[in-house]
A and B are shown apart, each in its own frame.
Chain A
Amino acid sequence: MSVIDLGFIIQRPPYKSETATLGFTHAISYQVVDILLDDGQGVNPKVCIVGEGVLCCLSGQKAMENYGVTSLESHIKNALLVDLDLYVCKEDLERFGITEDKLIDAEDMGADKKLQIVPLGEIQKILNNTKHILAF
């Protein structure tokens, strides 16, 4: 076995608790897990953003100005920059009335990846194919 897929479920809203932040930073740490594993081994996070977690994906956050902490937006941009797969539930975006143009984009930072809007059924399939699931 070389690289395993690890499911992450982000379901909490931003700035009520820091659970969502912890979810994203844990996922980003896949970049450095190899220092504790043998050569060729690794972890590939599949981050699924559902429920109130989709609120984390709104652009224009001003957490540093208002709370003095790094925003979820910044963490999500960093996640995209390090090529993480971030899947956002289509039905939950619709439920909150969030359109694609309001979502975070990290193209200006040089990220190749974008937030991927997928139906819940697709998220279920993605999680079904992971070895373990961490629900934050």
Chain B
Amino acid sequence: MGTLTIGCFASLVGSKSLDFTLKLAKAAVDKGHHVNLWLSSNATIIGKAHQKHLKDYSHAEKYVRELLEKGVEICECEACALARGIQKTEAIEGVQWSAMHWYLAKIYNSDRVVHIGGE
């Protein structure tokens, strides 16, 4: 089995790319691969707890928690989160906070990388 690192910069209820990211991560971890997920820019919002699940729009918290339980390493960009007024105390338990060198370090040790850009 291999290691997949995904970097996601897309937004929640703004782009379906974020939904795709979460589905891709789940598919990979269900196949037995190790998955790292870097959240930057607008994607950092999904690391915040207490998101409301709305049927009419994309929702992420439930899937983020599932991924964490399955052993996916999820890390968000501290700078991007703070810039958006998200505090570390509001993060979903298990979501790491770091900086962009975390993403590069995970890439170094990955077999495959999928970079899902933002706007």
Contact = CB atoms under 8 A, between A and B. Distances in A.
B105 interface: yes
Contact of A19 (B101, B113, B117): B117
Contacts of A12: 119
A22 B101 contact: no
A124 interface: no
Q: Is the interface of B mostly helix, strand, loop or mixed?
A: mixed
B113 to A, nearest CB: 4
A61 interface: no
Q: In which size bucket is the chain A interface? A: 20 to 34
B40 A32 contact: no
Contacts of A22: 9, 40-41, 118
Contacts, number: 60
A105 B118 CA distance: 28
Interface stretch (A34-42, A79-87, A112-120): A34-42
Interface string B85-111: 000000000000001111111011010
A43 interface: yes
Contacts of B107: 6, 43, 132, 134
B118 A33 contact: no
A136 B117 CA distance: 6
Contacts of A30: 101, 104
Interface string A1-26: 00010100000100001110010011
B47 interface: no
Interface of B: 7, 9, 40-41, 99-105, 107-108, 110, 112-113, 115, 117-119
